Structure 1
Amino acid sequence: MMSVKKITITPEYLSFYVAGRRNVTIPLHMDRPGIFSSPDCIKVPALYWNDGDTSVTFGPILEITEMRDPDFNGILNTPNNELILFDAIEPEFASAKVPSTKTRIRVWIDYPIEPENVVIAWG
Structure 2
Amino acid sequence: MLLKKRVKPVNSLIFISDVDGGEAPDPVKGPLILATQSCISVGTFPEIEGATEIVMGPVDEAGPDGPPDFSGLLETPTRHLVVTTVDGRVILKASVQAALTSVQIWLSHPKWPERIIIGWGEQ
Of 32, 43, 46, which residue of structure 2 is paired with 1:45?
43
What one-letter code is carried by the residue in structure 1 that aligns with 2:8?
T
**Contact 2:21–2:39, Cα closer than 8 Å, also in 1:** no
Give the C-alpha shift of residue 25 in structure 1: 2.3
2:83 corresponding residue in structure 1:
85
Of 30, 40, 48, which residue of structure 1 is paired with 2:28?
30
Please, what is the CA RMSD of the aligned residues? Answer: 1.3
1:19 corresponding residue in structure 2:
17
Give the C-alpha shift of residue 64 in structure 1: 2.0
**1:8-28 Cα shifts (integer Å, max 9, x gaps):** 111011210000133422113
1:57 corresponding residue in structure 2:
55
Give the C-alpha shift of residue 30 in structure 1: 2.8
Q: Which runs of 5+ in 2 are unaligned?
A: none
1:117 corresponding residue in structure 2:
115
Q: Structure 2-normalised TM-score?
A: 0.92
Q: 1:30 and 1:65, CA in 2 relative to 1: closer, same or farther beyond 3 A?
A: closer
Give the C-alpha shift of residue 112 in structure 1: 2.2
Q: Does 1:71 align with 2:69?
A: yes
Percent identity over the alignment? 26
**Per the alignment, in what secondary structure is the counterpart of residue 13 of structure 1?**
helix
Q: How many residues align?
A: 121
Q: Which runs of 5+ in 1 are unaligned?
A: none
Q: 1:112 and 1:28, CA in 2 relative to 1: closer, same or farther beyond 3 A?
A: farther
**1:19-41 Cα shifts (integer Å, max 9, x gaps):** 01334221133322321000000
Give 1 or 2: higher strand fraction: 2
Alpha-carbon separation, structure 2, partners of 1:67 and 1:51: 27
